[in-house]
């Protein structure tokens, strides 16, 4: 029986809880995102009862199945391909990510401009070597382009990428896309989401309602009053603080994208294009370093104010109450969704 790992509504539920609670693992009152009534209600769809070791083993088995399907597809198209496994890791099982620790926040902020995984050598040591790299390096430029097109599928045109109505599924998804559809039931999952789109929309609106509720507005006002004693006085709500750092990062990447658009990709070799992109890497600029310093100071002030008013426990309580009401109001649709989802597991 295949487990429905691709049900992003489950991930979205957990993420929304984390956003409201400041990504805290546990509040002073003992509440955690794992106490979410809606997450518990849906837990049967994403192996919540499995141990981390069993989840890891299950994920690795699914990865191997998918990579073997990729290899078969590539070989049918005339290319060599060896299954590339060992890259699947359960994120929640990594001790490096610890935003509940004041020391961690003091070092990484929100983990936006700097993180425990910024050390490329450490990352490379953890990642297995791609068994296909030597073969890819042996190909000519035109052969490599054909290889990548066969493996990854079509690249959308600029017009298609900018069109919000464009159907990405209309593109050739390559051997990876074909393998994912075969091993993860992607077509069935897409159909499931389409069938239950009204329920998914309601679920998204639930978290928007939580953020806009009178209780959350009052809590954010208390948080803002605390932040008024710091250098960061411009935020009316806690979510605005972290979002501001993502906005600064996006601006820096937009500058890199502008450089990318000026590169003549048709005439530049892969090595030349890589050099040009590295030269425009925003992570190597003074602006990036300045933003990282600002992020750490902002995240630390945010962390201390949340602790002072027990923001995390209060926000979780507000959200969980709304979730319980949501389950009561939508019980029939939720049961129908679970029953349908179990059919494509």
Domain extents for the chain?
1-49+196-214+310-345, 64-86+131-192, 97-127+230-309
Residue of higher predicted confidence among 330 and 278: 330
pLDDT at site 4: 41
Taking the C-alpha atoms of residue 189 and residue 66, their distance in angstroms, rounded to an integer, is 17
pLDDT at site 27: 47
Taking the C-alpha atoms of residue 83 and residue 70, their distance in angstroms, rounded to an integer, is 7
Cα 275 to its chain centre, rounded Å, is: 28
pLDDT at site 6: 43
Band of pLDDT at residue 1, cut at 50, 70 and 90:
very low
Residue of higher predicted confidence among 98 and 8: 98
- What are the tokens at 11? 């991930």
- With 70 as the cut, is the pLDDT of residue 10 above it? no
Token pair 């929100």 in the structure block, residue: 110
- With 50 as the cut, is the pLDDT of residue 3 above it? no
Band of pLDDT at residue 94, cut at 50, 70 and 90:
low
Three-state DSSP state, 144: helix
Q: What share of the chain is helix, strand, coil (3-state, %, to 5)?
A: 70, 0, 30
**CA dihedral over 208, 210, 211, 215, signed as positive or negative:** positive
DSSP 8-class letter at 285: S
Taking the C-alpha atoms of residue 299 and residue 235, their distance in angstroms, rounded to an integer, is 13
Residue of higher predicted confidence among 48 and 222: 222
CB within 8 Å of 274: residues ≥ 6 apart: none
Residue 127, judged by CB atoms within 10 A of its CB (0-12, 13-18, 19+), counts as exposed
- With 60 as the cut, is the pLDDT of residue 284 above it? yes
Taking the C-alpha atoms of residue 98 and residue 14, their distance in angstroms, rounded to an integer, is 16
pLDDT at site 182: 84
Band of pLDDT at residue 258, cut at 50, 70 and 90:
confident
- Over the chain, what is the mean pLDDT? 83
- What are the tokens at 58? 């299950």
Band of pLDDT at residue 320, cut at 50, 70 and 90:
very high
Cα 172 to its chain centre, rounded Å, is: 24
pLDDT at site 219: 97
pLDDT at site 118: 79
Taking the C-alpha atoms of residue 262 and residue 98, their distance in angstroms, rounded to an integer, is 39
Which of these, 1, 15, 12, lies nearest to 242 by C-alpha position?
15
DSSP 8-class letter at 281: -
Residues 69-75: contacts with CB under 8 Å, at least 24 apart: 69/175, 69/178, 69/179, 69/182, 69/183, 70/151, 70/175, 70/176, 70/179, 73/175, 73/178, 73/179, 74/150, 74/151, 74/175
Cα 118 to its chain centre, rounded Å, is: 17
- ∠ CA(65), CA(66), CA(70), 5° rounding? 120
pLDDT at site 319: 93
């Amino acid at each position: 029986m295949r487990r429905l790992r691709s049900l992003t509504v489950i991930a979205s539920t957990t993420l929304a809880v984390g956003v409201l609670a400041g990504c805290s693992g546990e509040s002073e009152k003992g509440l955690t995102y794992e106490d979410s009534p809606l997450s518990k209600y849906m837990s049967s769809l994403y192996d919540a009862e499995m141990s981390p070791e069993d989840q890891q083993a299950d994920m690795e088995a699914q990865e191997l199945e998918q990579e073997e399907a990729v290899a078969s597809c590539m070989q049918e198209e005339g290319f060599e391909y060896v299954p590339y496994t060992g890259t699947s890791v359960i994120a929640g099982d990594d001790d490096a990510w610890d935003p509940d620790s004041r020391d961690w926040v003091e070092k990484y902020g929100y983990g936006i401009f700097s993180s425990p995984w910024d050390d490329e050598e450490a990352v490379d040591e953890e990642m297995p070597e791609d068994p296909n790299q030597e073969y890819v390096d042996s190909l000519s430029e035109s052969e490599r382009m054909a290889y990548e097109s066969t493996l990854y599928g079509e690249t959308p045109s600029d017009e298609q990428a900018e069109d919000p109505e464009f159907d990405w599924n209309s593109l050739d998804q390559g051997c990876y896309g074909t393998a994912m559809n075969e091993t993860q039931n992607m077509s069935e999952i897409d159909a499931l989401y389409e069938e239950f789109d009204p329920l998914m929309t309601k679920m998204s609106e639930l978290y928007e309602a939580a953020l806009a509720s009178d209780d959350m507005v009052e809590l954010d006002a208390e948080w803002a009053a605390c932040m008024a004693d710091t250098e960061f006085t411009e935020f009316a709500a806690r979510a605005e603080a972290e979002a501001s750092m993502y906005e600064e990062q996006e601006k820096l990447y937009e500058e890199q994208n502008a450089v990318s658009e000026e590169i003549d990709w048709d005439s530049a070799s892969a090595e030349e294009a890589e050099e040009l992109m590295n030269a425009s890497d925003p992570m190597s600029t003074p602006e990036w370093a300045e933003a990282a310093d600002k992020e750490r100071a902002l995240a630390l002030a945010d962390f201390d104010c949340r602790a002072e008013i027990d923001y995390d426990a209060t926000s979780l309580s507000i959200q969980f109450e709304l979730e319980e009401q949501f389950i009561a109001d939508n019980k029939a649709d939720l049961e129908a969704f679970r029953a349908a989802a179990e059919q494509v597991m």
